[in-house]
Chains A and B, each alone.
Chain A
Amino acid sequence: MFAFIVKRLISGVVVVALVSMAIFVLFWYGPSSPAQPICDRETSNRCTPERLEVYERTLGYQNPVWKEYGKFVKGVFVGREITIGATTYQCDAPCLGYSFRTKQPVTEEMIERMPATFSVAIGGAFLYLLLGVPIGVAAARRRGSLADKALVSSFLFISSVPYYLFALLMWLYLTVKFEIPFFAETGYFPFTDNPAKWFSGLFLAWLALGIFGCTQYTRFTRGAMVEALSEDYIRTAKAKGLPPRTVVYRHGLRAALVPIVTIFGIDFGTLLAGTIFTERIFDIQGIGWWGLQAVYGRDLPVVSATALFSAVVLIISNLIVDVIYSILDPRVRLS
């Protein structure tokens, strides 16, 4: 197990290195000079070729790409100095660059954004499971009944609506139209400042993510449970004289949990990497919101940092899924 984790971490580092390289190279050879956005911004859209040349030179865009990538990597580990136009900034390790817009270290900004995104992700994912799994189990137990059919088709309806529309409608109705006080002020408020406000500010976002996401988990759980409940070992469990609850949960759900945990790990990773629609609609200033702003502002260091961040989060969540998988299924030996 330990050797497996080490091996996976090493391969994860390799993947992150490749992703960072790809991002770096893609921006480097993009349609416009990578210095164009900062030049436009600093000169209020009056970027002359001469000015552009200054930015390109100070940002190192005239050097070979591998040399600059080397500088970037060095910055991640030991920090470096970054010169934008006439000003030089000291960027401490782990340095991911300086934001073109705010002139703040990207790493610091990212760390600032994380609690909001993590709050959204944890709450949303919690609701996925809390709603999706029990409903799915209940549907599987009553498979073929009217309630099951109604549930399956209504959930199909919800999940066929685009998520951004679903979330937007929730916000429009609950916050704007009906003015429900609890949902009045969405957004992220630090938990340490005011837990109640933190909760009410995020609750609508959790609800949107949870209701929308749980449809998928309900379908998935239902399918996995129907399959598990038709296995021979369920018949054995019944033949032992176990009560139905034990048969369904300890024997059935325990087996159905393995595929559920697998997709949950990936979904949770995706949520942690930033929920752009959710954060944008409910005005939660997390990683997704931050990345979106950076795209609008052509803030290259921030955009590449968010891309790198999602890669790291997904690799870690994949690794965790594999470890949990081996704990859940004793037949899986990690090597």
Chain B
Amino acid sequence: MTTAQTSATGTPSLRGEPILVVEDLSVTFPTEDGPITAVQDLTYTVEMGKTLGIVGESGSGKSVSSLAVLGLHDAKSSRITGSIRVGGTEVVGLSESQMRKLRGNRVSMIFQDALAALHPFYKIGGQLAEAYLVHHPDASKRDARRKAIEMLDRVGIPQPDRRVDDYPHQFSGGMRQRAMIAMGLINDPSLLIADEPTTALDVTVQAQILDLLQDLQREFDSAVIIITHDLGVIAEMADDVLVMYAGRCVEYGTTKEILTHPEMPYSWGLLSSIPDVSNETGGRLIPIPGNPPSLLSPPSGCAFHPRCAHRDKVPGDLCTEKLPQLTPASSGTAHIKRCHLANPDQVFRTEVLPMIAPDLAEEIR
């Protein structure tokens, strides 16, 4: 594509300074069977008002890396190296009490499956008010309640002054996730991390929740990280995409770049495995063969090589022996990928695209 579009990620945009800078982040959990490195050498930035989508399969490290931003890993059972800066504040190694001031305040997180993530024994309003009060110690309970009602109203809960006294189980699935979002935004965070916010919801509600998140992001002007395995969600929400595999970043760039010119076979696999319900032209659903790798003994070289269909295009045993570095993609420096393939763009156009979107491939040709 054009360089004008890609440069938006490479350099700070007009919207402002980066709110989150992650550099060389590694998260290791020592276990009885040996250390598990769930995240390795991860580097990314999120700017104010922007949305970063992190995609990957279960166990690819997408949630672990985000929990590290909030410092939610137990210090005794995890080792975190590298740097995470939230609005210039270094988070790695920050004291627990300092960290608490950040959590739910400047950075907040919403989780998948709001039924499990909300406390079943406390009223929705009480849980929202608690989140407000912990960061506004001078506020009265009445203020907190008013704030909770206001937030429920903003996320589109009908009759918020009555529903505020409901328990989570009295809400529908979509309403619970709305309440969860209201709780995440109650302290007007600069960064909102949404960990698969729509996974437990049905499709129509998913779309509503995504719309809501986008509206609120505009309203609050906060940065958003959306963690998902659904490229559909990414296409709708994200400005930038980070594709993770086995704890590492394998491709990173603007959403448009990644979705139209992916240069890493794993990203191709993700694109191929999106079911296309509107298209009847014979686009096939192609699953990625094999299973996500064990993090205890990750494959040598490129972690994706056991599942990669394009290994034979790389000379020698490069894929099995040498970990590919993150290198600029053919379209520009703002798009980086981790792959040994010499001409991934061409492979994608001639081999992958005709399989998943024949009419689109036709067009390009």
A: residues with CB less than 8 A from B are 231-233, 235-244, 246, 251, 254-255, 328-331
Given contacts A231-B116, A331-B169, contact A238 B72 (CB under 8 A): yes
* Residues from chain A with Cβ under 8 Å of B101 in the complex: 241
A233 touches B117 (CB 8 A): yes
Q: Is the CB of A232 within 8 A of B167?
A: no
Query: What are 7 A-B residue pairs whose CB atoms fall within 8 Å in the complex?
Result: A235-B117, A236-B183, A244-B96, A246-B134, A254-B122, A255-B121, A330-B121
Q: How far is the CA of A138 from the CA of B174 in the complex (A)?
A: 37
Flag whether B111 is at the interface (Cβ < 8 A): yes
* Residues of B close to A244: CB separation below 8 A: 96
| Chain A hits for B135, CB < 8 A | 241
Residue of A nearest to B109 (CB): A239
- Chain B positions within 8 Å of A236 at CB level: 111, 117-119, 183
Q: Are the C-beta atoms of B118 and A233 separated by less than 8 Å? A: yes
Extra inter-chain contacts (12) besides given A233-B120, A235-B117, A255-B120, CB under 8 Å: A233-B116, A235-B111, A236-B111, A236-B117, A236-B119, A238-B72, A239-B108, A240-B104, A251-B119, A254-B121, A255-B121, A331-B167
Determine which residue in A236, A329, A331 has the highest number of CB atoms from chain B within 10 A of its CB, and name it. A236
Docked-complex contact B103 and A240, CB < 8 angstroms: yes
The 0/1 profile, CB within 8 Å of A marked 1, for residues 51-92 of chain B is 000000000000000000010100000000000000000000
- Residues from chain A with a CB closer than 8 A to the CB of B104 are 239-242
- In the complex, are the beta carbons of A241 and B118 less than 8 A apart? no
B228 close to A (CB within 8 Å)? no
Q: Contact: A239 with B116, CB < 8 Å?
A: no
By Cβ-Cβ distance, the 3 closest A-B pairs, closest first, are A241-B103, A241-B104, A232-B116
Query: Given A233-B119, A235-B111, A235-B117, does the pair A240, B134 have CB atoms closer than 8 Å?
Result: yes
Determine the distance from Cα of A237 to Cα of B117 in the docked complex, in whole angstroms.
9
Would you call A240 and B130 a contact (CB within 8 A)?
A: yes
How many pairs of residues, A versus B, come closer than 8 Å at their CB atoms? 69
Residue with the highest number of chain B CB atoms closer than 10 Å, among A231, A246, A251, A330:
A330
> Is B288 an interface residue, CB under 8 A from the partner?
no
What is the CA–CA distance of A239 and B180 in the complex, to the nearest angstrom?
12
Q: How close is B133's CB to chain A, nearest CB, in angstroms?
A: 10
List of A residues within 8 angstroms of B121 by Cβ: 254-255, 328-330
A330 to B119 Cα, complex, angstroms: 11
Kindly state the separation between the CA atoms of A242 and B109 in the bound complex, as whole angstroms: 13
Judging by beta carbons under 8 Å apart, are A242 and B70 in contact? no
* B100 at the binding interface (Cβ < 8 Å): yes
> Could you say which residues of chain A place their CB within 8 Å of the CB of B96?
244
Q: Do A331 and B130 touch (CB < 8 A)?
A: no
Given contacts A236-B111, A331-B167, A331-B169, contact A255 B105 (CB under 8 A): no
Q: Is B150 an interface residue (CB 8 A)?
A: no
Is residue B102 within 8 Å, beta carbon to beta carbon, of the partner chain?
yes
Cβ-closest chain B residue relative to A328: B121
Closest to A330 in B: B167
Whether, in the assembled complex, B345 has its beta carbon less than 8 Å from a beta carbon of chain A, the answer is no
Contacts of A242 in B (CB 8 A): 100, 104, 130, 134
Report yes or no: B134 in contact with A232, Cβ–Cβ below 8 A: no
Number of interface residues of B (CB under 8 A): 27
Question: Which of A242, A243, A328 counts the most chain B CB atoms within 10 A?
Answer: A242
| Closest CB in chain A relative to B127 CB, distance in Å | 8
Set of chain A residues within 8 Å of B105, measured between Cβ atoms: 241
The docked-state distance in angstroms from the alpha carbon of A239 to that of B109 is 7
Interface centre among B108, B117, B169, B183 (most CB of A within 10 A): B117
B130 touches A241 (CB 8 A): no
Cβ-closest chain A residue relative to B113: A232
Q: B108–A330 contact, CB under 8 A?
A: no
Distance A251 CA – B108 CA, assembled complex (angstroms): 18
Which residue from chain B places its CB closest to the CB of A255 in the assembled complex? Answer: B121
CB proximity of A149 to chain B, nearest CB, Å? 15
Residues in B with CB closer than 8 Å to A330 are: 120-121, 167, 169
| Docked pose: A244 CA to B100 CA in angstroms | 10
**Are A329 and B72 CB-contacts (below 8 A) given A238-B103, A240-B134, A241-B102?**
no
A5 and B122 CA atoms in complex are apart in Å by 24
B131 contacts partner chain A, Cβ-Cβ < 8 Å: yes
Please measure, in the bound complex, the distance between the C-alpha atom of A25 and the C-alpha atom of B104, giving whole angstroms: 67
A232 and B100 contact, CB distance less than 8 A: no
Q: Separation in Å of the A226 CB from the closest CB of chain B?
A: 14
- List residues of B (129-153) whose CB comes within 8 Å of A's CBs: 130-131, 134-135
Name the B residues within 8 Å of A235 (CB-CB).
72, 111, 117
Chain B residues with CB under 8 A of A254: 119, 121-122
A328 to B119: give the CA distance in the assembly, Å: 13
Q: Which residue from chain B places its CB closest to the CB of A243 in the assembled complex?
A: B100
Q: Let me know if B72 and A241 touch, CB within 8 A.
A: no
Report whether B119 and A240 are in contact in the complex, using a CB–CB cutoff of 8 Å: no
Taken together as a complex, chains A and B put the C-alpha atoms of A34 and B107 apart, in Å, by 78
Contact B70 A329 (CB under 8 A): no
Question: Of B72, B120, B122, B167, which one neighbours A239 at CB under 8 angstroms?
Answer: B72
B186 — nearest CB in chain A belongs to which residue? A240
A329–B118 Cα gap in the complex (Å)? 14
CA distance A275 to B116 in the complex (A): 42
A40 → B minimal CB distance (Å): 59
Give the distance to chain A from B29, nearest Cβ to Cβ, in Å.
14
Closest-CB distance, A327 to chain B (whole angstroms):
10
CA gap between A68 and B108 in the complex, in Å:
73
* Chain A residues, CB < 8 A from B109: 239
Instruction: Chain A residues near B134: list those with CB within 8 A.
Output: 240-243, 246
Chain B residues contacting A331 (CB-CB under 8 Å) are 120, 167, 169
Q: How far is the CB of B80 from chain A (nearest CB, A)?
A: 16
Chain A nearest Cβ from B95, distance in angstroms? 13
Residue of B nearest to A257 (CB): B121
Residues from chain B with a CB closer than 8 A to the CB of A232 are 111, 113, 116-117
Chain B's nearest CB lies how many Å from the CB of A122?
27
